[in-house]
Amino acid sequence: MNIDIYKSTEDDERYLSVPEGTDISALAFAEGEALDVSGFTAFKASLELDLSKPRVGLNQEDIHQQIADKGYAIHGVNMEVSINLTGTLSGE
């Protein structure tokens, strides 16, 4: 599935993803999720969701499920970084 992602101009941590080519002004939002789509700007176009390949910052499974259930996904981005040092120190 290819999606288009829009970023909120009012909340840097809010994104709206829809199937590629969807007119976001025609979306019918679920109760409690009403959004002013004029507050969103295009961020990424035609991004392929591939659940078999991890994608930095996106929970593809959640986005895919929301789109399947509602026709759109409201989400943020998250990044976890961990650094592991292995090996031995030399010269001491």
Say if residues 29 and 36 touch (Cβ distance below 8 Å).
no
Question: Average pLDDT in the 37-41 region?
Answer: 92
Tokens of 87: 């090996």
Residues pairing with 4 in the sheet: 18
More confident position, 21 or 32: 21
Span 56-89, pLDDT tens digits? 889 999 999 999 999 999 999 766 677 787 777 6
Pairing of strands 40-48, 2-8: antiparallel
